Amino acid sequence: MEAKHLSNVLEIRDNNCFRMVRKIASGGMGTVYEAVQMGTEGFQKTMAIKMLIDDVAIDQEFVDMFIGEAKLVADLVHENIAQVYQLGKYQNSFYIAMEYIHGVNLQEFLEAHTTKGKRMPVDLGCFIISRVCRALEYAHSKRDKNGSLLGVVHRDISPKNIMLSFEGVVKLTDFGIAKAANMKMNREGDVLYGKVPYMSPEQAAFKVTDARSDLFSLGICFYELLAGEMLFDEEETVVTMRKIMREDIPPIRKRFPDIPPKVEEILLKALERDLNKRYQTAGKMGEDLEHFMYDGGYGPTVITLNRYLRELFPEKMRF
C-alpha cells in the first residue's frame, strides 16, 4: 500500500485508489470523508470513506467494533440502508468504503425547520419513519448463509444516523455499535451503548436489548419529527435516563390537535415501555404507517420528499 499527502488531499492506495475530497463529519469512532474512487480508463465513483479516529485506532476494542460494523453491514443490502463496499487498511488503521449519500441527516432536517419556523407535514414524517421501519425489518430478520437468524439490533437509532438523500431516499446508517448473535464482543449490561436521549428503557436500565429496543428509539425520533422538539432533552445523563424509564409521554395531540388520532396511536405504541405492548416488529409498525398514508388514496413518495428537500435546502442542490 502506498499513501500520498497533497495539501488537504489524501490518497489511499491499496487495491483501490481513493482521493479524499472533504471531511463530512467526525464523531464517535470515526471521521467520514467524501472521496472519489479512481480506476482505469478515467473511471471515477463518489464514495464515503469512514476512517478510525487516531485516538481510538490504538484501542483494540474500538478496532474490533469498527471491523465488526463493516462485516455486519456488508451483507445488509437494502434500499433504505447505506451500503458498505469495502473494509481496507491505511497505515496502522482501518477504513470503510461505503455509499455516498448526497443529502442531510434527520437532525439537520429538523434544525432547518426550526430555523425557518416551519412544521413538517405529518404525512411526510410518517413516510420517513416508515422507510426506517422497512430498513429495520430487513436488518432484524436477516439470516446467515446457514439460515440462522443474525439477531441484529442497531442500538443507535437517532436523527444523526438517518439520512435523507436529495433524491428522496431515506437511508439508515452507522451500525457501529450494532450487535448480532455471531459477534464475539458484546458487553451489553456492563457498557452503555447509544446516544442517551434516544435510548430505549432497556438500554437506560443496562438490560439486554432485542429488536423492539430499536423501535422505541425510532418512536423518539418520530415524536421529534412531529413536535419539532426533543422528547427527552439532553440534560445530565442520569436525569435523562430516569425520564426514559419512568416519565409519562406527553400527549402530542394536546399540543398539536392537527395530528391524526391514528398517527398518535402508532407513536404511543412505539413508545410503550412494556415490551409486550410495544410493536413487536418493525414490519408491523411500517405497515400501520403505510395504511395511514395510502388507504385513503395517494400518499407521499420519494418524489414528494425529493421536492420538499429541494425547497428546504436550495443552497445544497448540485443540480
93, three cell numbers: 488503521
β-pairing verdict for 162-165 and 170-172: antiparallel
Q: What are the catalytic residues?
A: 156
241 to 4, 179, 189, 193, 237: CA distances (angstroms)? 46, 21, 15, 12, 6
The three-class DSSP label of residue 307 is helix
Count the Cβ atoms, other than its own, within 10 Å of residue 252.
Answer: 18
The closest of 113, 11, 95 to 49, measured between CA atoms, is 95
Neighbours of 179 (CB within 10 A): 23
Handedness of CA 173, 176, 182, 188 (dihedral sign): negative
Q: Which residues lie closer than 8 Å to 264 by C-beta, 6 or more apart?
A: 251, 252, 253
Phi, psi of 185 (to 5 degrees): -105, 120
Instruction: Return the SS3 of 147.
Output: coil
**CB contact set of 245 (below 8 Å; sequence gap of 6+):** 201, 204, 205, 273
